[in-house]
Amino acid sequence: MITSPTPGSDRQGARNKGLARISALTLGAGAAGLVGAAAIALTLPSSTTATNASTAATTGTTFTNPFANGNDDDSGSQLQGGSQLQGGTPPATSFLPPVATSGAS
């Protein structure tokens, strides 16, 4: 007696076959992504190359510190003896109404 497979086992076989195809596609796409990422990483300049190039470019230049004389220093170290703020008249008042800045209508 030879029995034919039941319809449920046919469906199970087709499902397993479909899952195997999906797994193969996913594995192939992942491998292609890794190969692409490696190719991009190899074509990008390395950080040591960029550092060496910038070092070579700045070796021959001379830097002059604009704050060396102390006149342009904003650190507040010159305000040792009280406040040295300048006095004067305040700006004139405006009689124009405020302008709406939001886009609401």
Give 66-99 pLDDT, tens digit per residue: 666 665 555 555 545 555 667 778 777 777 777 7
Q: What is the mean pLDDT of residues 9-23?
A: 93
* 57 located within any domain: no
* Amino acid of residue 19: L
* 30 located within any domain: yes
pLDDT at 89: 80
CA distance 78 to 93: 33
* 78 located within any domain: no
- Residue 9: is its pLDDT beyond 80? yes
* 51 located within any domain: no
Counted domains in the chain: 1
Quote the DSSP letter at residue 60. Answer: T
* 29 located within any domain: yes
Q: Is 41:35 a contact under the CB 8 Å cutoff?
A: no
* 68 located within any domain: no
pTM, whole model, 2 decimals?
Answer: 0.36
For 17-73, the pLDDT digits (tens) are: 999 999 999 999 999 999 999 999 999 987 665 555 555 555 566 666 666 666 555
* 81 located within any domain: no
Can you list the alpha helix ranges (DSSP code H) found in 1-105? 7-43, 47-58
Q: Could you tell me the residue range of the domain that residue 18 belongs to? A: 10-40
